[in-house]
Chains A and B, each alone.
Chain A
């Protein structure tokens, strides 16, 4: 495969008709990250993305890219709605997996003396782990309401406030969700999982703003050096997994009828305007809303725990939502393509929306500086807050990276972790960790991930987002 380096941070696989590519593939990486990327099959997956009918511009991959299903993790593809397709494999199983950041009025010394109790209480109150079941007992009618109203449902139930909704991508609720397009299996799988963190790489972290890179933007986001913050990373749980599973089957059955041929079955898709495509879109939106509600409920419990453990009122704590952003989702967005405004079907799979200053979908209080973009790292190192840029809008359909990206397989991580007292080693570094599954903890050791700093430095240098602040964890709860 021909891979051309365009500049220190941009690479291109030119359009190759023999491979069925309809557009080129473009990858954001520096030399070091590219060396790692070449080791797995993810380059082939970006190229496969370029074969999807109706793709516009280029098949894109962010520097945290690694092997995924269908598209690589870190992939972005945008389709023309009239000639293009929609693909469940272009979104992923964990629909609206995403991140939200809460800021506070606290600094480290307010929390450090009570940190252990705080982390233990967070762990007790927020269900974590494999198959974790929530405290919410939802009726089938409640669960339908969750899928229609998303975070708005949670706020109506008393979990948070209207102010929270204003700081969530799409206001915490995607319009056009239709629960009738979701299988009873998905509802059954999700029923006890609203308000659960789950397992794997999902977490809730108590963090400190470690370094501010852009004082002005940080100020607009309400962030300052030394500040305590809370980062929550989870998605739509079993509900979303089942929606993706169900629609992969639907797509596989109809592709032949629509005359779509693809190099990878996992990319199974249907024309956007087809009944199957529209049904998936409506079901995917239900799962996205499920995830927004999930993160909203967890937020409310985290606030309660802070209030109780620190003996402070909500006003003194100031645990306000900075932003909540999805990194596995399909959105209908307006973009400028060769000087023409067009509606596009943007698939982000392990990529984060990063809209620029002035964009109408950026909340008014942030509009002058761009959308807050949250990039979680591993539990031992750091996470980042970035801001969206005009360059992202022009080059990547307003998208940037989503995290560190795995460097080691789960097997390899476990082998490396064997014999290590991970929890104690982290505690020696001032990071309190509570977890449900030891296997998960071993798979999630910091060494299993690329350094998120390397990834963020590429998107910053390439100009598709701006570094605003780095946060480091001091308390972690995991599945």
Chain B
């Protein structure tokens, strides 16, 4: 449409009213894109030991306190955290953990996990650190969405009723991926 001659471009120049309408359109579309400025966080929780249950729950509840929309997708051993009964009895393994106060050769003795777990539980209690159950309940109160991977539920032969009531089941990798694509922060724990 436009030509290189300056006269013609003046003729083709949009009118004031056209420009005003265009600005209005642009402002409208800008408004639509910035309307939802709520930040989102998506965490994939794959571990079910006592120590590894903490990071996703602490980050999820804290992000919710910031006003973020938070989704935690639990898969494989991460499901233990959402299992109402098993979440209260998560274990700590001292085997292969050089930070534990027992050498591997001792750590491998049957019953040692129970001992190290008790030790850790006592410390958590003495330090007034929140329990896993407390963090789950607080997170739920603050609107965190916990999702349980359907494939792993079936693999572990769990029943949907085994999980906390508010847990979303019947979701898979595509759901998790979609949440991650929409999120400002994505973490795999």
Chain A bound to chain B? no
